[in-house]
Structure 1
């Protein structure tokens, strides 16, 4: 089956993309449409909501971190067996970093690469006919991208709707729906974005309410009609394209629970596709790493919210230390914090961690660090061999109190031309950093 697709985007963050995306996904699924989902950009949380809404995994597509072949192959993988691929944009449609055309990380790059028409979610609060000018600007800004329809959001009254609709239609664009202001459909948030899908109270009921809300105010048939065939080559559909990252072992132990949940689905799928076996375990349940694994991966997540519990889970910590004595261990972001000497929580309480690295981190004074990273390894580690390059990102509010005496894991550069700087820590078979890997850079 060859899927059609569309991208749900907006002029800026906070315009209602996720509400519209989840509502459409569940509403169309209820109608019997085989829907698949992807998220543009580095985001762990939204794909989990896609999975909950659709009952199938959602992947990330990132035009800065992934080359065009990998991006297309993952789109083909995500849409396998589906009739419709719904891609959710990040930030504003054209927001990215300075880079060559098509590699800026903007959601517009994904739309252009895959031939996805754009359904624009437009927050019309505080304006009326001027909504048409905003929509027209989005439609004309990039000739690679086709804005095929608009859904107005945060409509306050019938008069407001009439004026905003007239403005958009005067710009030559179709209005496919209008969502009234309704606080009841808002999903709960915390410091890294939405509360994770697995922790959202009454998630199934919320998704059903979103579907009801969107179905009542958006023309679902018109949305289906604007989708276009995915622009994906035959060899990418056949799965011949390479995986994003080589597996760090044949049997990989991966922490997975509310404290360790940030691992990209495309990495897991790629590792399994290359024959690796995955063994999940829960540090929060005081489980030791599986004894038969030959590599251990501690993903990011929210260990700062569970620091006291993790510090008290001696079976987990002893098992982690014993594992690291003979086999590679790698920590990303939250995992890096747990591998360190200590983690200070939001109340200023210092909790001892595994002590496998000398770094000390704190969540007491929040400072957001956000951005793409191009990383070159300074030594062999679980992430890969010395000298190999990887692209990914950082997104955290924790800070380093003391780095300690460990050697840096890598040199990391941002996307703005800054000089590479030492990043992360390594000691023996243990490595870690705040860097979240998306893909290896291969020539």
Structure 2
């Protein structure tokens, strides 16, 4: 079977309405009976869960910086091989990424270029009319590797406003596939790291149905789908994101611990590992038949009091760590620390397995790719193992053992700037603020 056609839905900048259009389009196509697969370009770990809810199928992240070509090709081929159409969502602006060689910038445009997907631009036209065409023309000409096939207008003020914008698009020869007026009722709830998680969004299925209705009412979906082109990925390519850290992985999974990349879980399962979910918020300890425990990121700062009172969980975690590896990412790392201060300034005792204390009351944004080299042998690899991940949080460190002996990894940013060390390692317990995407 040949790979499914695909489209990349992107925008010149963040906040243009990509996710609204993508989810509405995915659900509209799925309820027509098509096998739709979503994908997210870049390291966003929230949107794929919404794609999965809209389509009923898993959605992976594709990242041209963090993933080697074999892994990227394998993930794209798997996605396109299980679908009738792939609707991929860009992140930030179409060309926004890091300063690296062409094709490895992490920008959404790399995905369109590598896999032959035409781009549909979502244009927020509030505040301008014909000038929107100049923005679209710039996107169409900026990178000769890609094809901008059409535009969808968002936040159109009136019918007259739409005609003026379409006049500009006619001058540059880009088809307008549809136009949405401003409608706050279609917005999804947000918090400090982006959208409220799919699992926490009230009446999510009804919201998706309303988005699909809105998209079908104003966008020529048949014309848009006809713009798709076959995905240029080789199904025979094999690539591994990260070897399983154990055969039976006890995975914290609830509203406080949910940020783990779907491609990692799929990769671990494909390698024969078994995932054993448990809920710290329900005061469940790690399953004792697990041979490694993984605490992913999420929102522990919103549930710090509840976690601190979950003594079965904390005691079970400490007992687990005495004999088996435990790893925490971002929020999971904070819970492995000594204390966590919430937004109201209340300090809560955590697991005290790592020498770090954190605060959500003292906020500072930390954002960017991290290239790490392990300082010690452990469940994630030998000393020197190269890992690539991404950091995005607002927590501050209020106390930490800064010795290299207690550090987890040496890290640099995407441009190779030395950032010193990250995280901690005490015995078999490790943790850091960055979310692992793949081995280097």
| Class of the TM-score when normalised by the shorter of the 2 chains | over 0.9
Residue by residue over 1:27-55, the C-alpha shift from the partner in whole angstroms, topping out at 9 and shown as x without a partner, is: 11111221101000001110000011011
| Structure 2 residue 246 is matched with structure 1 residue 249 | yes
CA distance in 2 between partners of 1:234 and 1:288 (Å): 40
In the TM superposition, what whole-angstrom CA distance separates every residue of 1:205-228 from its partner, at most 9, and x where no partner exists?
110000000000100000110000
* Paired residue secondary structure (2:418): coil
Describe how 1:237-276 pairs up with structure 2 within 5 A.
241-276=238-273
CA contact (8 A) 1:331 1:431 kept: yes
**RMSD over aligned Cα, in angstroms?**
0.9
Alignment-derived partner of residue 293 in structure 1: 290
Q: Does 1:141 align with 2:142?
A: yes
Please state how far the C-alpha of 1:72 moved relative to its aligned partner.
Answer: 1.4
Instruction: Choose which of 269, 275, 278 in structure 1 pairs with 2:275.
Output: 278
Q: Identify the residue that residue 321 of structure 1 maps to in structure 2.
A: 318
3-state SS of 2:286 partner: coil
Do structure 1's residue 361 and structure 2's residue 364 form an aligned pair?
Answer: no
* SS of match in other structure, 1:235: coil
Deviations 1:254-303 (A, max 9, x none): 00000000010100000011111110000000001011111000000000
SS in 2 for 1:52: helix
* Structure 2 unaligned residues grouped into runs of 5+: none
Q: Aligned equivalents of 1:338 and 1:171: distance in 2? A: 54
SS at structure 2 position matched to 1:284 = helix
Matches within 5 A, 1:166-177: 166-177=167-178
Structure 2 counterpart of 1:99 = 100
Deviation track 1:198-253 (CA, whole Å, cap 9, x = no partner) reads 000111111000000000010000011000000012413xxxx1210000001110
* Structure 1 residue aligned with 2:130: 129
Tell me which residue corresponds to 2:25.
24
Deviating above 3 A after TM superposition, structure 1's stretches of 4 or more consecutive aligned residues are: none
Whether the 8 Å CA contact 1:243–1:270 is kept in 2: the answer is yes
CA distance in 1 between counterparts of 2:33 and 2:291 reads: 43
- Equivalent residue runs for 1:41-80 within 5 Å: 41-80=42-81
Are the counterparts in 2 of residues 37 and 79 from structure 1 also a CA contact under 8 Å? no
TM-score by length of 2: 0.98
**8 Å Cα contact 2:291/2:324 also seen in 1:** yes
Whole-Å Cα distance in 1 between the matches of residues 363 and 401 of structure 2? 21
Which ranges of structure 1 fall in alignment gaps of 5 or more residues?
A: none
1:108 Cα shift?
0.3
Task: State the match for 1:181 in structure 2.
Answer: 182
Partner SS for 1:6: strand
- Which residue is equivalent to 1:433? 432
Answer yes or no: is 1:214 the counterpart of 2:215. Answer: yes
Deviation at 1:353, TM superposition (A): 0.1
Matched, 1:375 2:372: yes
1:80: Cα distance to partner?
Answer: 2.9
Following superposition, the deviation at residue 405 of structure 1 comes to 6.1
1:423 maps onto 2:422 in alignment: yes
* 1:120-171 Cα distance to aligned partner (Å, 9 max, x none): 0011000000011110000000000100010010000000000001111211
Which residue number corresponds to residue 388 of structure 1? Answer: 385
For the Cα contact (< 8 Å) 2:80–2:231, is it kept in 1? Answer: no
Contact in 2 for aligned 1:68/1:113 (Cα 8 Å) = no
Please state if 1:342 is matched with 2:339: yes
Q: Counterpart in 1 of 2:160?
A: 159
**CA shift at 1:182, angstroms?**
0.8
Determine the C-alpha separation between the residues in 2 that align with 1:292 and 1:50.
32
Contact (CA 8 Å) 1:308, 1:351: kept in 2 or not? yes
After superposition, give the CA deviation of every residue in 1:71-120 in whole Å (9 maximum; x if it has no partner). Answer: 11101122332110010000000001010110000000011111110010
Q: Is the 8 A contact 2:77 2:235 kept in 1?
A: no
User: Hey, what's the Cα distance between the residues in 2 that align with 1:106 and 1:192?
Assistant: 20
TM-score (ref. length: structure 1): 0.97
Matched residues in 2 for 1:73 and 1:155: separation? 39
Q: Does structure 1 conserve the Cα–Cα contact (< 8 Å) formed by 2:130 and 2:164? A: yes
The Cα of 1:381 is off from its aligned counterpart by 2.2
Specify the SS of the correspondent of 2:334. helix
| Bigger Cα displacement from structure 2, 401-410 vs 246-255 | 401-410
Partner of 2:192: 191
Alpha-carbon contact 2:74-2:235 (below 8 Å) kept:
no
Contact 2:35 2:84 in 1 (8 A): yes
> Which SS does the other structure have where 2:132 is aligned?
helix
Residue in 2 that maps onto 1:352: 349
Does residue 333 of the first structure (1) align with residue 330 of the second (2)? yes
